[in-house]
């Protein structure tokens, strides 16, 4: 997946508890998409937050977009793939 200014997938991941010492952050397209939230409308850039599970721990990732309509298309696709692996999602051939 991408946008006008470059790739936006895989998302940048962070530990929801910032417990980086005990559990290294996942790298690349790993884990399972468990939840998706649309970013606040007041934010400058359209974005969404993904919650993924990897190694029995939840992690947050952000996807930022140049275009609100493109973000909405990607969110619709991602919602159809909750429960899918991030790797599977990353290899989708989207019409967007």
Q: State mean pLDDT over 66-91.
A: 91
Q: State mean pLDDT over 49-64.
A: 88
Give domain status of residue 59, yes or no.
yes
Residue pair 14/59 in contact by the 8 Å Cβ criterion: yes
Give domain status of residue 41, yes or no.
yes
Q: Residue 17: which pLDDT band, with cuts at 50, 70 and 90? A: low
**What is the extent of the structural domain holding 35?**
2-90
Give domain status of residue 62, yes or no.
yes
Report whether pLDDT(21) > 90: no
Q: Which residue has the higher pLDDT, 33 or 22?
A: 33
pLDDT for the residue numbered 77? 93
The 3-state DSSP class for residue 22 equals coil
Give domain status of residue 95, yes or no.
no
Q: Residue 33: which pLDDT band, with cuts at 50, 70 and 90? A: very high
Give domain status of residue 73, yes or no.
yes
For residue 65, give every residue at least 6 positions away whose Cβ sits within 8 Å of its Cβ, in sequence order, or none. Answer: 3, 8, 45, 46, 47, 71, 74
């Amino acid at each position: 997946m991408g946008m006008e200014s470059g790739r936006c997938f895989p998302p940048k991941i962070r530990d929801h508890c910032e417990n980086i010492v005990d559990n290294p952050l996942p790298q690349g397209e790993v884990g399972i998409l468990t939840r998706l939230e649309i970013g606040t409308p007041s934010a400058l850039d359209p974005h969404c937050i993904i919650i993924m599970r990897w190694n029995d721990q939840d992690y947050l990732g952000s996807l930022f977009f140049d275009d609100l309509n493109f973000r909405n298309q990607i969110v619709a696709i991602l919602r159809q793939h909750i429960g899918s692996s991030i790797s599977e999602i990353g290899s989708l051939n989207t019409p967007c």
